[in-house]
């Protein structure tokens, strides 16, 4: 009876007694990282060690649920990273002339209306996202958003923060909603709900399936967001 109660309490707290605890570094090794992002393509700014350092801030990232779920989450994360950065080539958004300043939430744009373009592995964008990330990190990213493009650990951390705390990406995978939900969370307004898969969304799906294959796990269902 005591064992049953312990298992019940673990489930209430979000832990599965049947899960296999892992860590991102045990699934995404240096060699796997380099297969995903070859060094002749990826920008040297994006290092494996900085990625691992950033994951330490979020212990449940890539370590929740069964081993298959953990692998799917990391494959999903990196599939979106690959699409956002062109296989980790780009630190900053190519087109920096767009206005990502929305003051309707009471958050100003002290660095300028065009200063909040995409940066980092998931291309953190908009003044309100920089503000929220800065508060989470105890930093003033609203005043100086380019810190995300200058500090390697911070850059990775901003993307894992967005995945874990500023969107439903983590729960989309760990609660079996499917990869398509991560596309909606990251760029749904541009890529989803169009009646058929847009090319960027299809790219993400293809990358996800490829990474799942490399990690030896099935991709699951609900992959698209059309």
pLDDT in tens, 92-130: 999 999 999 999 999 999 999 999 999 999 999 999 999
d(CA 36, CA 39): 10
Q: What percent of the chain has pLDDT over 90?
A: 90
Give the C-alpha separation, 185 to 129, whole Å.
13
The catalytic residues are 84
pLDDT at 22: 75
Q: What is the pLDDT of residue 21?
A: 59
Low-confidence ranges of the chain (pLDDT < 50): 1-19
Give residue 137's pLDDT. 98
pLDDT of residue 8: 42
pLDDT of residue 81: 98
Residue 85 to residue 141: CA distance in whole angstroms:
20
Q: Model pTM?
A: 0.90
Q: Please tell me the predicted confidence (pLDDT) of residue 31.
A: 98
Given this model, what pLDDT does residue 18 score?
Answer: 43
């Amino acid at each position: 009876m005591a064992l049953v109660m312990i298992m019940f309490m673990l489930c209430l707290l979000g832990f599965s007694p049947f899960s296999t605890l892992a860590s991102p570094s045990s699934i995404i090794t240096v060699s796997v990282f380099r297969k995903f992002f070859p060094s002749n393509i990826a920008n040297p700014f994006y290092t494996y060690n900085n990625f691992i350092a950033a994951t330490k801030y979020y212990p449940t990232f890539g370590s929740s649920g069964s081993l298959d779920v953990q692998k799917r989450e990391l494959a999903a994360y990196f599939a979106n990273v690959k699409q956002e950065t062109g296989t980790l080539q780009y630190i900053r958004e190519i087109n920096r002339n767009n206005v990502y300043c929305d003051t309707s939430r009471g958050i100003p744009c002290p660095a300028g209306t065009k200063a909040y373009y995409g940066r980092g592995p998931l291309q953190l964008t908009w003044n309100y996202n920089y503000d929220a990330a800065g508060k989470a990190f105890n930093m003033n990213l609203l005043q100086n958003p380019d810190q995300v493009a200058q500090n390697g650990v911070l850059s990775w951390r901003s993307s894992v923060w967005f995945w874990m705390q500023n969107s439903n990406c983590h729960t989309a995978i760990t609660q079996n909603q499917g990869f398509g939900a991560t596309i909606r969370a990251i760029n749904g307004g541009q890529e989803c709900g169009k009646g058929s898969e847009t090319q960027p969304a299809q790219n993400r799906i293809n990358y996800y399936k490829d990474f799942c294959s490399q990690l030896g796990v099935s991709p699951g269902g609900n992959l698209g967001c059309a």
